[in-house]
Amino acid sequence: MKGKIAVSLILIAYMMISGCTLKPKYIKPDTPVARQFPTDGVYREISYDNVSAPGKLKWEDFFIDAKLKKIVEITLKNNRDLRLAILNVETARQLYGIKRAELYPSVYATGSGNRQRVPDDLAPMGKGYVQSQYSANLGLAEWEIDFFGRIRSLKEEALEQFFAAKENRRAAQISLISEIARVYFTLASDLKNYKIAKELYETAKDNYKLVESQYKVGIATEIDLNNAKSAVNGARVNMVTYEQLIEKDKNALYLLVGKRISDDLLPSNFWSTLPMKDFSPGLSSLVLLNRPDIMAAEHRLKAAYANIGAARAALFPRITLLAGFGTASDELSGLFSSGSKVWNLSGNAALPVFDARVWRAYKLSKVQRKIYLTQYEKTIQKAFKEVLDTLAVRATIDKQIEAQTNLVESLQKTYELVYKRYKQGIDSYFYVLKAQQDLLQAKEQLTKLKLAKYANHVMMYAALGGGGNFDEKSDEKLISQK
């Protein structure tokens, strides 16, 4: 008899594992954007040759600056947002394990003992006695046999949600690295502008001393003296403003890193050349499909397909099995003696004849699939727009920097000429002050344009899926920490 039971259970398990599912076949949606990036208009300036696959370019190889590399490394170990993303992946992994385990029976070992006195009135012979019963069993808890794939569909849904969580973890890292680089470059540019403002402040003080000496001997007017003093105060205001911005940049950097870092890791200069590896985005827009946010959206769409399969299966009979094998005796010492063996096997089938909730759940699952499909398409469109924006900046920023550089050179020469004319007594100090302000603004704008170029290069790297490489062992180590 035991052999027959075992064979029956094996056959049932095989039927369950190899049975059909009612999940609809997944068909990859068409991309709702152009298959290629544009090559007309300003985009004619973009070189799409020498494709270097930014999605496969590790962040360690992308950044050239050693200090920035070290900051990113520290950040990946300490940032709390990234840590939450890692823990969400582990949560999704465990939820998938729970759903997968529901496919297989749960075996429990139980033991019980009971002693009670039967009163005289209830005793067969009219005399009370003590009744004992002991048992030890090994059996299956109520186990649903997945003939129609309901549990398997739920398992696949959980698996796709796990994959989506992994892609979200990649997306969180890419976003974090790009933001670290942006703040780092912003700090470097503000330090550069502070240096410019300080130089102009020192120049303004020297000029004020000169005007003051001329005023004392009657060469300069009181208006010239006040203008020179205004120049000193204005330069001082610019210095203090950049001191404030520098501290805010540091605070933003410390927040992203997760702790305060040594001043030795802060940028010491503003780069004259691109402090990152250059790359070409390639002409095909299909590279966007490898972005983690798009891949996560697709996994959620696949999960919606699996949810439809589970909802369909709920319309069919749900079959459950309960089985057990063990021993029972009225004496504890006879629990394992011959003739004490017991077994039971029972099944149950339930078909929803009338349950409006089941049909509503099925219709809801189909609506949810449409929602996830729309979100998937919207994510692709958003990614396409992000890349186009970075390409537009890439196509024009060098021309802006060149023009601004020429403007700075012209204003520098103008300032020198105006200052010379003032010293010769031809012009008033007002013209010197105006030329100095124009020169300061032009130099600040040149630094901002270079910052925009560096930040845009990082944004393009992130928009094409770069920077998402990580070591899963590091994640497991973080999860195992108390």
Q: Which structural domain, as residue segments, surrounds residue 197?
A: 20-103+148-316+356-480
Indicate whether 261 pLDDT > 90.
yes
Per-residue pLDDT, averaged over 50-58, amounts to 73
| Contact assessment for residue 421 and residue 427, using Cβ atoms and an 8 Å cutoff | yes
- 81 and 121 housed in the same domain: no
- 136 and 250 housed in the same domain: no
CA–CA separation, 390 vs 55, rounded Å?
Answer: 16
- 141 and 264 housed in the same domain: no
- Look up residue 347 and give its two tokens: 């099944």
Per-residue pLDDT, averaged over 341-357, amounts to 80
- 225 and 368 housed in the same domain: yes
- 306 and 336 housed in the same domain: no
Indicate whether 96 pLDDT > 70.
yes
Indicate whether 14 belongs to any domain. no
How many C-beta atoms surround the C-beta of residue 44 within 10 A? 9
Which CATH number fits the domain that encloses residue 280? 1.20.1600.10
Q: Name 233's Cβ contacts closer than 8 Å, sequence gap at least 6.
A: none
- 415 and 452 housed in the same domain: yes
- 134 and 229 housed in the same domain: no
* Residue 47 to residues 33, 39, 43, 98, 306, Cα–Cα distance (Å): 21, 9, 9, 50, 43
Per-residue pLDDT, averaged over 10-19, amounts to 50
- 337 and 458 housed in the same domain: no
Indicate whether 15 belongs to any domain. no
- 189 and 223 housed in the same domain: yes
Indicate whether 331 pLDDT > 60.
yes
Indicate whether 9 pLDDT > 60.
no
- 199 and 226 housed in the same domain: yes
pLDDT in tens, 433-456: 888 889 999 999 999 999 999 999
Which CATH number fits the domain that encloses residue 337? 2.20.200.10
Indicate whether 5 belongs to any domain. no
Indicate whether 13 belongs to any domain. no
- Look up residue 468 and give its two tokens: 């998402």
pLDDT in tens, 192-226: 999 999 988 998 898 889 888 888 888 888 888 88
Indicate whether 162 pLDDT > 50.
yes
Ranked by mean pLDDT, the top range of 212-221, 273-282, 367-376 is: 367-376
Write down the pLDDT at residue 7: 46
Indicate whether 6 belongs to any domain. no
| Contact assessment for residue 465 and residue 55, using Cβ atoms and an 8 Å cutoff | yes
Helices 150-216, 222-257: inter-axial angle, 10-degree rounding: 160
* Residue 330 to residues 130, 151, 327, Cα–Cα distance (Å): 10, 41, 11
pLDDT in tens, 114-126: 888 878 777 777 7
Of the candidates 298, 330, 350, which is a domain's last residue?
350
* Residue 248 to residues 67, 182, 187, 258, 454, Cα–Cα distance (Å): 19, 13, 9, 15, 20
Run of H or E including 482? none
- 65 and 183 housed in the same domain: yes
Indicate whether 457 belongs to any domain. yes
Lowest mean pLDDT among 104-118, 198-212, 250-264, 334-348: 334-348
Indicate whether 473 pLDDT > 80.
no
Indicate whether 51 pLDDT > 80.
no
DSSP string, 211-235: HHHHHHTTSS-HHHHHHHHHHHHHH
Q: Tell me how many domains the chain contains.
A: 2
Indicate whether 419 belongs to any domain. yes
- 64 and 139 housed in the same domain: no
Of the candidates 297, 326, 350, which is a domain's last residue?
350
Indicate whether 127 pLDDT > 90.
no
- Look up residue 328 and give its two tokens: 């029972």
Indicate whether 220 belongs to any domain. yes
